[in-house]
Chains A and B, each alone.
Chain A
């Protein structure tokens, strides 16, 4: 290049640099795809019915998920909470989660859409409804609740709603007319409604009540369990029928052996669950009969 060319090039470069100062590099933004970036092993979601609020549920059940994930081969579990019972039921009706931890009534409903039971969570005798009232209330007989409001987690919660309502029914209360039923979304809310005097009594069941006593001892001290219902089969662990059988079997085996090891006991303690027991759909026939009786005598479960 001759000298004249070099001068022209320098001038062009210089004039090019000045306007170039105002040009800004473009940001790339998020990158999307139709599959996860590391689609190694399949991720299955375990949806737990709203025993607790989501944060608490995570604290209680995430150790179980971590434990299972460390031992599962070719599969990985992810914990999924739900806003309230309706939300949880909506999910399994849409067959979204691969694994469920529903209450017994929801177990029956989930069977209809293609889930099958692999285990029960907790001892059967622990599955009973309890009715909590404030200590400063003067209730002594269920009939005292007439004209009062009673809180429940949801109309389909078996231990925390259906069984208490059947209990009240059997004790001479027409639950459709004599009391005001308030379905407040979660176990903790049902208890807190009583504490806050929004309802005269609240229905729940032992594990959440124990957890509430641990976490809110001051509030729990002002409450007392006034009635307990008879017990029934406990919550279940279910798997969707299109999930490979060996994955379901692995989960079942890991859950059942949990109470035999130290780490497992610690996890179960955090979940307020004594142990997992191997089970099948037939174990819930007793629930079906109970529900049938309840519907015949008290109210339809699903139309609330």
Chain B
């Protein structure tokens, strides 16, 4: 189709005319459309540049100050504001170094614009319709501070422009089409008469030789038509003559007995295309005449003879004739051997080849058959290494075959020797033997066979076997010999090697310490070696021809195993091994490893089985011991409670003990996973930084480190000790990791540290408070005495009252410190917590104000607890005040009680909980809650989140101390904005209920001259208390040490009614003093006083009930009451 079209357009006048007109139209329209588009584009571009410049200048002006201040967010707002311009592609603000401060594409912030001009001037970087890119320097006060850069596209205008261009193209194409149509009509008119001539030519070519053009007139087509008609008439006449000549020559060629080929000679001297062939030629080759005419002679020739043909052609061109043999390839592929007789002839000055080709197939077959027989004989002799010879005794000449020459290493072209010369090739001994044999054969006609050794061996040949037999003439007389010679050197060597091997193997087998036996297909022994007989203590004839089942030194079970083994090897032809027990005379079991392997015949059939049995008793015992040891080690490793794993130098996990598998159940060591991937969740892609195993694998030393391993969304802490596994040569072949999970340990350590810290702080606070209390006692006492002695109307009385109040407030603080330090002196009682709390509610409501609601939710059937009710008051007051402070404005405080039981399992999961039965007191608020870091410090003394003067920081410390002093514990739940809950757990009182109520204190009364032994190691306190007691009309025996008190008691003649003693003293504590004095003064009443009760006080700082105690500092009234109470108290 394309070809036709092309031929029409470019091969005809009509087509060229159409193309010419179309091209003219296309060029004109294209120029017009192109010019129009360029002008419109230029106009749009100018407008775009103006817009971009104006916008950039505005942006630069706005951004100057922002750039100067490096105000990124402000600049970004400016840039973002440019988005309202639809054609803005980008807007960028940069500093004077080109660093992007703000960009419509925020990802470019911080990059540098590398194409800005070096000086601060306005620049247009791009002027394409898709982008106008303008940069304007941002200036402040004439100083260049940065750059504004804006890129504007031309999407809408560009689309319009494209539409105009498309329409122009469409118009241009339409113009080309119409022009072409007009051209087609014109062309058709002009070329019509030329086509009439062309029709005449077509008719002649199709075989109508009589047709002539009928165009008339005087124009160019008419002249061409007339000349064409004349030419046709002349050609017709010449053609008739040629046909007659051709028939004559054809008859001659067709009658020839050989194939005739006539063909040209090409410029290179080779045969050219066929001009003529006879019938015999194309029929022999299987072609039609036309097919043969299409071929060149070279295509007919067998390629194998191409060189021969080339030689023949050279001879032909030189001599004018040549005869040679070649082969032609028939159409069916047959190669036909031919003899070609060819000659150069000249016809009308043109050199042709005239060839007679004769089929010589039969002749060739006969020659080939003969040649093949000779070759086969030679090949047979070569394969068999047998040469043949023929000796004519009359003429003493010997004929040798090719192989004979090869065997003796003689060149075939060398003349064969006579009989005597021939004998020299052998050693003298072999020559002699051969000569004897030859002479006997010549005499008797008997054939002979003699092994002969060559005197000078050639490579691969040393020994020959010569065979010969007599040859007789027509009269039956022996006229010579003929025979063969065969190279038997290899056979000779093989025989020697065989005998040597046999000797070696027999020596080996008969001297082997292993037991070796051979069994036939019926499993009967056909051979046993001496080791067998020696081990079994049996004679050979007793064993041979018997099977293990019938006759064996082995026990029945082992013999059966052996028998089965033999049967399997015989059946399968595959070697196998078994271990059997062989008890011996010493009554010990010996282990033998029997290796049985088949023996094959030439056809590959198993003809027998050989067994080699070796004593492996020692090895078996060693393996057993090793397995036992390994089982023990495995058991130890699996039960030591720490993880153990074996890591390869490629960080693969090779082994894991039970603990490791328990920690990492998803890890399968048999897959040899990479440790840092398998043991981390999510997996790591590189070796852990801290990895001690990695170091051990590198330097072969023991390393230790701790890891924080992500596992199941949490972090576990492991202590890892890595030690090397060394090869015999000292190379590190692996590393053993000993892994200990120290997560809980670290947690406990942290708790322990916190507890220690609290304990230290408590001890410090307690110590300070104790000494401070003593001082306060002095201040308070003296102040009260002064107050008593000063008229209240005097101004100094007011000042003294202030001192007393301050001292009391100080005393309150020290009491709180003592409570925290758990050294507060308390008088616990068995109480119903609900009742105690209800008694406090009124006071609590006053304490926290009206805006905060108190919800009281007592539990029913609450267990009794043994606590000093005053301490419960302290706890509630402190927690309520904290709750109040946490609530801004209105809120709610909830106080709840309940019974709670914690078992071991619960406590294991809840840090800080202690198993047991508890009464819970919970105080919750809906206030601001606490941050985690605040929570961790709230129980520390003087830690407060309140403002200066708003809290002492001792409230929660006091609560903590009280709870700990009562063997309870406290838990706080708090989150910022969600309030706080303090839960206090006090152990249930397990003893019998004690309903005894506190007796109401009697009115303080003065003494009646009773004797009081006062013991106090602080002299100022001693003097003060002495004065107080004397004022109360008691007789005082003051003692500053316990020993002094004992001495005074001993020396005092009268009754001592009361002992008032400090508890903590250097020589002896107050309780011991009391005990000692009771031995001499059994009716002695006791009153103990202390700033705190240290370890000397019974049962963890708690006084026994019934023991009278006064807390320092005390007032005169307190002392009066306590002394009276002690003196009048009735012993139970």
Contacts and interface: CB of A to CB of B under 8 A. Distances in A.
Interface of A: 4, 7, 10-11, 14-15, 17-19, 21-22, 24-38, 43, 45, 53-59, 62, 78-83, 87, 91, 96
A78 B68 CA distance: 10
A17 B30 contact: yes
Interface in B93-127: 95-100, 108, 111-116, 118, 125-127
Residue of B37, B70, B143, B168 most packed against chain A (CB within 10 A): B70
A78 B65 contact: no
A193 to B, nearest CB: 20
A300 to B, nearest CB: 13
Contacts of B140: 54-55, 58-59
A32 B173 CA distance: 45
Contacts of B158: 24
Interface of B: 6, 10, 19, 22-23, 26-27, 30, 33-34, 37, 64-65, 68-71, 74, 89-90, 92, 95-100, 108, 111-116, 118, 125-133, 140-141, 143, 145, 149, 151, 158, 161-162, 165-166, 168-169, 172-173
Contact of B68 (A7, A25, A38, A57): A57
A62 B141 contact: yes
Top 5 nearest A-B pairs (CB, nearest first) are: A27-B131, A27-B126, A22-B165, A27-B128, A37-B114
B125 A32 contact: no
Contacts of A87: 69, 71
Contact of B169 (A19, A30, A59, A82): A19
A21 B169 contact: yes
Contacts of B116: 37
Contact of B69 (A7, A35, A82): A82
Given A21-B165, A22-B166, A81 B68 contact: yes
B1022 to A, nearest CB: 44
Given A32-B112, A54-B140, 17 more contacts: A14-B30, A17-B34, A18-B168, A18-B172, A18-B173, A25-B129, A27-B133, A54-B64, A54-B65, A55-B140, A58-B140, A58-B141, A58-B145, A59-B143, A83-B74, A87-B69, A87-B71
A30 B33 contact: no
A25 to B, nearest CB: 5
Residue of B69, B141, B168 most packed against chain A (CB within 10 A): B69
A30 B116 CA distance: 9
A292 to B, nearest CB: 17
Contacts of A14: 23, 26-27, 30
A35 B112 contact: yes
| Interface SS majority for chain B | mixed
B23 A11 contact: yes
B131 A29 contact: yes
A29 B90 contact: yes
Given A62-B143, A79-B68, A27 B132 contact: yes
A259 to B, nearest CB: 23
A63 to B, nearest CB: 9
Nearest to B108: A32
A18 B32 CA distance: 10
A62 B33 CA distance: 57
Contacts of A43: 97
Nearest to A35: B112
Nearest to B31: A17
A33 B97 CA distance: 12
Contacts of B165: 21-22
Given A7-B19, A18-B30, A36-B97, A27 B151 contact: yes
Nearest to B117: A37
A22 B162 contact: yes
Contacts of A83: 69, 71, 74
Residue of B22, B26, B132 most packed against chain A (CB within 10 A): B26
Nearest to A4: B10
Contacts of B112: 32-37
24 contacts: A4-B10, A7-B10, A10-B23, A18-B26, A18-B169, A19-B169, A22-B162, A22-B165, A22-B166, A24-B158, A25-B128, A27-B130, A32-B100, A32-B112, A33-B111, A33-B112, A38-B118, A53-B65, A55-B65, A57-B68, A58-B140, A78-B95, A83-B69, A87-B71
Given A7-B19, A17-B30, A78 B96 contact: yes
Nearest to A66: B143
Nearest to A76: B97
B30 A81 contact: no
Contacts of A26: 128, 130-131
B97 to A, nearest CB: 5
Contacts of B74: 83
A58 B128 contact: no
B151 A25 contact: no
A14 B22 CA distance: 11
A186 to B, nearest CB: 11
B68 A54 contact: yes
Contacts of A57: 68
A56 B128 CA distance: 40
Contact of B141 (A15, A30, A59): A59
A30 B19 CA distance: 48
